[in-house]
Structure 1
Amino acid sequence: MDIYECLLRRSRCQGSGVPVTAPAARYSSLTGKKRSTMADNDTQRLMIKVARLYHTHGVRQTEIAKRLQISQSRVSRLLAQAEEASIVRTVVAVPQHIHAELEEQIEARYGLSEVHVVDTVSHDESEVNKDLAHTMASLLYELAFEVKTIAFTSWSKTLRLMVDALLPLRTRGEYVVETLGDLGPPELQHDAARSTQQFATLTGAQPVFLRTPGVVPSREIKELLIARDPYVRMAMEMLDSIDVALVGIGTCERDPELRSGDNFFTDEQFEHVRERGAVGEVCLHFIDAEGKPIDSELEDLVVGVTLDQLRNARHRWAVAGGERKHQAIRAAVAGGWVDTLVTDAGTAAFLLSEPAGSAAEAARAGARTAP
């Protein structure tokens, strides 16, 4: 119990984002920090001005240099810095339904509302993820229905890339709620929290963080976490009424970014669910080839959205692709855990490679008729 209290206090301190600095150190560095901040603000204002002149008003770099009385090389540097700081974003508007027939076949076979097949520039997984992320960002930007609560899986690499490519949404939300607690080392937790905050800003919504370990050692600790922390309890309750759930689809292998047992499952636990037939996971809920949940004690260790909450969401959007995830993606769509899928052309072909009347389709039919 003492270990739990320490863990909980540490999580709250990290979640507050307040650095602990000695008063003397703060006082001695105040002047230097103030000067540095003023210089940074001046540079940022100039960067924004240059970016607007060049991208919005179409002014040439040579003319900008003359107007602002700076060198052309500095104009070029400021434009590059504006892109690095995401002040300027490049969005490629890919026409939807280029693969209309392929998409319709997948929708019909798996009972999906929408499928978006993307032509990727490379088979490299990181490049595939970037292409999928940009397509997902375009779909969200064109969102045509009202949303109040968006469940966001900030631990998905592809969804974090999507946020980086996203423009402010036309349809505004009220809440962006994290689907899972903290996973992995502190630097990854920071990246995930930053992505949640950025996504909430782009949707005009209030971020709701799930500042607690995402995987705990026992069911008792999970229940204690939820019972003792009102913020965790509030986040969990808000996941009862999801309008749009944005999820990734994972394999049954540990991500290299996540150390074994560090707020995450161990290699032995992954082996345990594989032995029981798991081929993939959605929000750390393991499923077999037909999309059925794996009966395992690991279900009791996850602090995050439940399968019932995910099933009851109005819309369940997933973005995933690449050969390594073929089996996991097919399991997720066959089990009904996804109703809108963004994927690559290779995965789309794989989803249609299974003969009609297969076990996966039978599982999907069972999932639709389940209470």
Structure 2
Amino acid sequence: MTDVDGQRLMIKVARLYHTHEMRQTDIAKRLQISQSRVSRLLAQAEDASIVRTVVAVPQHVHAELEERIESIYGLSEVHIVDAVSDDETELGKDLAHTMAALLHDVAFEVHTIALTSWSKTMRLMIDVMLPMRTRCKHVIETLGDLGPPALQHDTARSTQQFAALTGAQPVFLRTPGVAASPEMKDLLLSRDPHAQKALEMLDSVDLALVGIGADEIDPDLRPGDNFFTDEQYAHVRELGAVGEVCLHFLDADGNPIDSELEDLVVGITREQLKSARHRWAVAGGTRKHRAIRAAVAGGWVDTLVTDSATAQFLVDSAPAALQGARETPPAKGNTRRRMSASKA
């Protein structure tokens, strides 16, 4: 049997099992192969990403805690995950699967999605997503290239993959995400009409999918490699920064930090992010606690996927200005959520 014949058989077995819900014994009889071979082909289909598994966590297992955070911070929705490990990589996988399941539970009517594809959790999410029926027309990268070439390649692949899953056209931002100087930024953009168009399209975003960064350089990035240096991070920390959203640094209360670094970022602006009709963030872990609190306190996101330890931190350390907002919102139902392209 040729490789092509083997792939065809693997796909046929996967479709019979997962799409047509046939038992392995029945598949073996129909295709005149052994049941053990059916099992091996199903396992190979998962290894080849022909079949992707998403663990759909029942919503609102932490209903009371979720509603408390929504009330305190004025969020539309909070979804809390019980992480299987404190390890940051394992936590990222749990959060990514949850975010992927939530996206599938939304009837999408959005036309433009801004995607932070350099976020590792976002890339993990895309890897486990299934195709969706949407009205999405464009998926736009929120930031230019960051980090080494291998990471840039991964982010471009993720953008392409996410666009294919949503039936949209990818809009890449193939320019350094952090310029060496404002003058260099202006020069780069003046010679790149594609980047100019991408940045203009971020004026009208229906859904922004963002990560939240801590007040230190992400482990996947290298200082100064299309990115900020250690010295620049130290400078914004001195100004009060506790984290960032799309490389916009925030203080503990979620107020933007005004510094010269703001003029170096090539990507979605603070005004464009705030004007997006929906802003979903996925982030968790002790290292990002203060950054996540800043992002929700400042209104930079309206829907949050996080872990239970971070959720408890958000309640216990809520800024004093928000302590009075304790009214419990209406109980959450199990109705299918619909995301409209028009403002409410």
**TM-score, normalisation: structure 2:** 0.88
The percentage of counterpart residues that share the same residue type is: 75
Q: Which amino acid aligns with 1:323?
A: T
Match of 2:292 in 1: 329
Number of aligned residue pairs: give it.
325
Instruction: Answer with 186-195 or 89-98: which moved more.
Output: 89-98
Match of 2:91 in 1: 128
- Equivalent runs, 1:129-168 vs 2, <5 Å: 129-168=92-131
Q: Cα distance, 1:73 vs. partner?
A: 5.4
Q: Could you tell me whether the CA contact under 8 Å between 2:214 and 2:288 is conserved in 1? A: yes
Q: Cα distance, 1:174 vs. partner?
A: 0.6
Q: Distance in 2 between matches of 1:307 and 1:350?
A: 26
Q: Could you tell me whether the CA contact under 8 Å between 2:115 and 2:142 is conserved in 1? A: yes
Instruction: Answer with 70-79 or 140-149: which moved more.
Output: 70-79
Q: Distance in 2 between matches of 1:196 and 1:289?
A: 31
SS of match in other structure, 2:203:
helix
Q: Distance in 1 between matches of 2:318 and 2:20?
A: 55
* Distance change (3 Å), C-alpha of 1:323 and 1:76: same
> Among residues 265, 273, 279, which one is paired with 1:302 in the alignment?
265
Match of 1:311 in 2: 274
Q: Could you tell me whether the CA contact under 8 Å between 1:141 and 1:170 is conserved in 2? A: no
Match of 1:267 in 2: 230
Residues 91-121 of structure 1, C-alpha deviation per residue, up to 9 Å, x if partnerless? 2222211211111111111111111111222
Q: Which amino acid aligns with 1:220?
A: E
Q: Cα distance, 1:243 vs. partner?
A: 0.2
More helix by share: 1
Q: Distance in 1 between matches of 2:18 and 2:320?
A: 53
Q: Cα distance, 1:361 vs. partner?
A: 8.4
- What are structure 2's unaligned runs of at least 5 residues? 326-344
Match of 1:213 in 2: 176
Q: Cα distance, 1:69 vs. partner?
A: 5.4
Match of 2:70 in 1: 107
Q: Distance in 2 between matches of 1:244 and 1:269?
A: 30
- Equivalent runs, 1:8-87 vs 2, <5 Å: 39-61=2-24, 64=27, 67-68=30-31, 74-87=37-50
Q: Which amino acid aligns with 2:58?
A: P
Q: Could you tell me whether the CA contact under 8 Å between 1:150 and 1:243 is conserved in 2? A: yes
> Among residues 349, 352, 367, which one is paired with 2:312 in the alignment?
349
Q: Cα distance, 1:39 vs. partner?
A: 4.8
Rg: which structure is higher?
A: 1
Instruction: Answer with 340-349 or 121-130: which moved more.
Output: 121-130
* Distance change (3 Å), C-alpha of 1:189 and 1:95: same
> Among residues 216, 231, 236, which one is paired with 2:194 in the alignment?
231
Q: Could you tell me whether the CA contact under 8 Å between 2:60 and 2:79 is conserved in 1? A: yes
Q: Distance in 2 between matches of 1:275 and 1:356?
A: 20
Q: Cα distance, 1:145 vs. partner?
A: 5.0
Match of 2:301 in 1: 338
Q: Distance in 1 between matches of 2:227 and 2:157?
A: 20
* Distance change (3 Å), C-alpha of 1:51 and 1:111: same
* Distance change (3 Å), C-alpha of 1:218 and 1:60: same
Q: Could you tell me whether the CA contact under 8 Å between 1:291 and 1:360 is conserved in 2? A: no
After the TM superposition, list the runs of 4 or more consecutive aligned residues in structure 1 that deviate by more than 4 angstroms: 58-74, 359-362
- What are structure 1's unaligned runs of at least 5 residues? 1-37, 363-371
Q: Distance in 2 between matches of 1:55 and 1:169?
A: 17
Q: Distance in 1 between matches of 2:291 and 2:201?
A: 27
SS of match in other structure, 2:113:
strand
Confirm whether residue 193 of structure 1 aligns to residue 152 of structure 2. Answer: no
**TM-score, normalisation: structure 1:** 0.82
